[in-house]
Structure 1
């Protein structure tokens, strides 16, 4: 796995040829159990690295299209799986907890519901007020510049724009770790404000 902008954050990625961009999964290493977000299938190398970091206690899925290899990882590790509450009636895998807007998932990690994306109540996660982790709605196809999911994929563009602007209004965001596309390790608030103004 790759070391990110913090010593306690790691990622592994898969290049998607259809979209010409990377898909990412993230690991937050913490006392009390590591958190994995939107896990892709893992190579033996990455799985061994995860074990050296202490394994995984919690798996957070931002939306049903990002279940990816969560069920397999949970079955191998016993990790608890958390998913977006707005999808609980149709979610494709079993979750131990459903996350609502404003929930503190574990100490220092908060959930924000985004409306209008391709799935109901997609989650964005804010780590210790400075690192935003996104699923599908907020992405980065061009290095250094955030964008929104294309209109054709949105359930409601107006609600999606409102959600992006709400996230952009959160103070102190330094990094934006996208599920799809390039991560931004600095000037996160500026990039979010630029995206919000462009919509």
Structure 2
């Protein structure tokens, strides 16, 4: 039975301090993981109610979220939308440019230092990011920052790509056919992501349910 998501505010209202992962997330607008204020949402829209026999609707990473997030874990990228025909984070250079903005870098460093200071013995970092879209550029700049600031720590990076589906675009899958520009972006993003993530990581692992990282 799926456990309903409990937010940070729910735990706080019950007078308890929740145990949260030491994790940071970059998330575009429209992601179910955040509320209108940019903080962790009170519930996961895709989750089935407790005791329900209906399978949950899975569209976003937050649909798997069964632990509360610390209020400083989630950073909303307000320049881009989660989904739609335009305004999405499509290209490597778009993601890379986000972390060339001094204000964004300062925000990331503040959040990073907050979690690092909680560690008794910091061993390293894990970075998970999409390879096929603009988040490959975000991941590349994050690993570069970690490599520069924590050169003695290990960095394990995971490059993720969706599988190819035989049905129209749904959630975590590529559609069987895409226009030439989308295919070009996907190929270029994946190639650039692999090169840059490998350069600044102790170990880089591409990960996909598709044999060719979603590239045809």
Query: How does the TM-score come out when normalised to structure 2?
Result: 0.34
Query: How does the TM-score come out when normalised to structure 1?
Result: 0.36
More strand as a share of residues: 1
More helix as a share of residues: 2
Higher relative contact order (CA 8 A, sep 6+): 2
